[in-house]
Amino acid sequence: MNHTDKTPFLDLVTPHQELKDELSAVFSRALDTAGFIGGPMVEEFERGFAAYCTTQHCVGVGSGTDALRFALIAAGIGPGAIVLTVPNTFIATTEAISQAGARPEFIDIDERTYNLDPSKLAEYLDTDCMVDDQCGEVIHRKLGMPVKAVVPVHLYGQPADMDPILELAERYRLLVIEDACQAHGAEYFSRKSNCWKKAGSMGRAAAFSFYPGKNLGACGEAGAVTTNDGVLAQKIRMLRDHGQAKKYFHDVEGYNGRLDAIQAGILTVKLQHLPEWTECRREAAARYRELFVEAGAGELAPYEPEWAKAVYHLYVVRVPDREGLMRQLAEAGIGTGIHYPVPLHLQKAYSDLGHPKGSLPITERVASEILSLPMFPRLRAEQQSRIVQRVLESVAFPTV
Ligand SMILES: *Cc1c(COP(=O)(O)O)cnc(C)c1O
């Protein structure tokens, strides 16, 4: 194998080399002022990211997990409540639900978009639950607990089908918190409002992660909540800072969940480049599609509905012999990933929730066949040609 032919799954080095001077200046600025936590750099980023997401408020926090947890808690989710989400996501989604005191319950995904299937959400609410005549709450028949919220995940950078989700949420009075941790800048065409909407602007609030590998990544841990609800934003500002209304006056018990000034400064620099990076990801996705179509294997390209403008955090293909393909690509020096190999309801951590194998069949089937190919803004056309060639070879000549 020619060493120069190697393609990593993700290239985190190049973007930081490209911006080294601008990023280093952020460190100098923080060292000169010793303003390491909160302060003007955090406020500047919050204004910039709220504008980018077309929301009125953005609250910087310590991570995407903090963002989800604080949004749920601030919106009143706590012990005794059921919160619905998908089993095909990163565990942070359900950790936040459990850590808010609620019980996560799972709705299966759509086989083509890999996101929450609104018809399955409707089925769950209509048949597994009943509406209490007195309080108007939706109660799960078997568990006897109220369903209070739904957390749709815009997985892989593709928005979930929000119109029917929001409609059901309105009918059943559910709170909607978007998990937009993989979807910075993704857009959804709302047929109801007849306009495109940004991920993170459609629910009561949304959580973003700026983990280094995300489309907008810090040089460390960071996250944010976006919302148009000023009261909710204020509560989250308190929760992230030990429940303080002002220094040493604690209205509630909170958390240590603030955003570092250095990370905020880095994110402000990178936010200026995000539209260009997103464009590059979309071009790379279009190129992958073209290569698959030219080879008569167009079905390998991920499905992007006409109502979605995905930002391709991940580029996921689905093949019967996933392990074989992964091995063959690794031998060719091509990095891949699996997002995610074990559905959440089958994780050991959730064995006490009592969801047997077979209970969420689409997610289970998909989990054994999905593979994430290299995807990053500086992925080159010739690298993609080679990757696609190898994929086609492996699919045509499986090793098992
Ligand atoms: C990354 C991620 C999170 C958690 O974000 P952290 O910043 O790592 O806490 C939550 N949900 C999804 C879908 C993610 O991809």
Q: Is the peptide bond before 340 cis (omega within 30 degrees of 0)?
A: yes
Report CA(142)–ligand 1 centroid distance (Å).
31
Out of 3-7, 195-199, 337-341, pick the least confident. Answer: 3-7
Judge whether residue 121 has pLDDT over 70.
yes
Judge whether residue 305 has pLDDT over 90.
yes
Name the residue at shortest CA distance from atom 2 of ligand 1: 181
**Ligand 1 nearest-atom number relative to CA 96:** 10
What mean pLDDT, rounded, does the chain reach? 96
Residue 294 DSSP SS3: helix
384 lines ligand 1 (CB under 6 A): no
Q: What is the pLDDT of residue 362?
A: 98
**Ligand 1 nearest-atom number relative to CA 210:** 7
Report CA(91)–ligand 1 centroid distance (Å).
8
Q: Which of 253, 83, 114, 256 is nearest to 182 (CA)?
A: 114
Give the residue extent of every domain in the chain: 14-271, 274-394
Q: What is the pLDDT of residue 135?
A: 87
Percentage of the residues of the chain whose pLDDT score is greater than 70: 98
156 lines ligand 1 (CB under 6 A): no
Residues 6+ apart with CB under 8 A from 61: 67, 70, 222, 223, 224, 225, 236, 240, 257, 258, 259
223 lines ligand 1 (CB under 6 A): yes
Tell me the C-alpha distance between 322 and 177, whole Å: 33
Q: What is the pLDDT of residue 399?
A: 62
Report CA(225)–ligand 1 centroid distance (Å).
12
Average pLDDT over residues 160-183: 98
Could you tell me the two tokens for 327? Answer: 């091995």
Judge whether residue 292 has pLDDT over 60.
yes
Report CA(290)–ligand 1 centroid distance (Å).
30
357-377 pLDDT per residue, tens? 999 999 999 999 999 999 999
Under CATH, which architecture does the 14-271 domain have?
Answer: 3-Layer(aba) Sandwich (3.40)
Percentage of the residues of the chain whose pLDDT score is greater than 90: 95
CATH code for the domain defined by 274-394: 3.90.1150.10
Q: Which of 399, 396, 377, 376 is nearest to 388 (CA)?
A: 396
Q: Does 274-394 match 14-271 at the fold level?
A: no
114 lines ligand 1 (CB under 6 A): no
